[in-house]
Amino acid sequence: MQYRTAGRSGPRLPVLALGMWQNFGDTTQRDERREIVMTAFEAGVTHIDLAPEYGPPAGAAEAFVGSLLAAEFAGRRDELTIATTVRGIGNAFAAGLDASLGRLGTTYVDILYAHCPGDTPPAQVAAALDTAVRAGRARYAGIVGATAERTRRIAQAARAAGTPLTIAQYEYSLFDRRAEGGARSGEFKASVIDECEDHEMGFAAGSPLFQGLLTHTYRTGAIPEGSRAAANESFPRARLTHQNMLRIISLEELARRRGQTVAQMSLAWALYDERVSTAVMGIHTIDQLEENLAALDHLDFDDAELSQIEANGARAGGCVA
C-alpha cells in the first residue's frame, strides 16, 4: 500500500480508502462485510469512509464499524482512520455527530466532514467543525461536496475560526472531472483540487469508478442481476447509453495493453495527480477488492495513454452524461 499525507499536516492516508455507501448494511451478511474490511485492512487500507446515511438502512454501516471496533479492533482504534460526514449547522450538526459517535461506539472520528450544500453559510460550517475539533470529537476537519468557490470561502472561514480544513472530498473520476475545473463557465470553471492545494489541504476522490460504470459490469448496456444498478435506485441508469458503452470498450482496450482492467486503470488515473490524497472505493465483493488493490501495481501513464483517455473520458470541468 502507498500512503499520502493529506495536505500539509493532515493524516497519512492509504491511496485507496474503503467507502461504505451501499454494501455494509443489514442487507449483506455480516461475515461477508467483515471479510472485506479485514482483508482490506491487512492490505493496508486503514481508512474507512462513512456517513450516517450509509447502509442500508441508514446508520447500519456506522453501527457495523462500531461492532468491529468493539471486537476485531479492540485496543487497535489508533490503527484506523475513520471518517464520517455530518449535515446541518449549529445544534443539528452537533446532534448528528452525537448520533454517529453513538453508533460507532467511539469518542471521536479521525476526519469529520461537513456536507456543504450551496446555501450553508461558510462561517457556520467553520464554527461547527471548530467546535467539534476543540471538544476532541474529531481530529481533523473536512468538507464534502463543495465547489471551488465554496471550498475557498469555507477554508478562509475555518482558518479564521482557528481550525483549518485538512481535506475536501468531491466526486472525481475520468468520467467526472468537475473537481479539476476548466469548464468554460458556471460553477465548475475553477478547480476544487487547486483550491485544496492553495489552502494546504488534501483531496479525497469520491466515486473514482463512477458508481461502477468504469468496470466491466455494464459494458453491454444491460443491468446484471445483483449489480448496484439493479439493487439501488441511486444509480443513474440514464448513463447506460450506447455512446458511454463505446467509451468503456475503448478504455478496456487501452487497459488491456497496460495489463490492467478498466477499473484498475480508472483508479490509477484518479491517483495520477499526487495532490489526490486518497480514492474512496465502493466494494461489494472480495474479488472486487483484490482487483482494485492490484491497480497500485501500475500507476504511471505515458502521453499516448493520457491522450486516449482524454478522448474517451469527460472534458475537464465536466461529467459524462
Q: What is the reported pLDDT for 231? A: 54
Structural domains of the chain ordered from first start: 3-312 (3.20.20.100)
Q: Can you name the residues that pair with 167 across neighbouring β-strands?
A: 142, 202
C-beta of residue 266 within 8 angstroms of C-beta of residue 309 = no
Residues 212-238: pLDDT tens digits?
A: 999 876 665 555 555 555 455 666 667
Average pLDDT, the chain: 94
pTM for this model (two decimals): 0.94
Distance CA 14, CA 44 (A): 7
- Each residue's pLDDT expressed in tens, for the chain with a length of 321 residues: 999 999 999 999 999 999 999 899 999 999 999 999 999 999 999 999 999 999 999 999 999 999 999 999 999 999 999 999 999 999 999 999 999 999 999 999 999 999 988 888 999 999 999 999 999 999 999 999 999 999 999 999 999 999 999 999 999 999 999 999 999 999 999 999 999 999 999 999 999 999 999 987 666 555 555 555 545 566 666 777 889 899 999 999 999 999 999 999 999 999 999 999 999 999 999 999 999 999 999 999 999 999 999 999 999 999 998
Residues 135-157: pLDDT tens digits?
A: 999 999 999 999 999 999 999 99
Concatenated DSSP letters of 72-127:
TTTT-GGG-EEEEEE-SSHHHHHHHHHHHHHHHTSS-EEEEEEE--TTS-HHHHHH
Q: Can you name the residues that pair with 281 across neighbouring β-strands?
A: 18
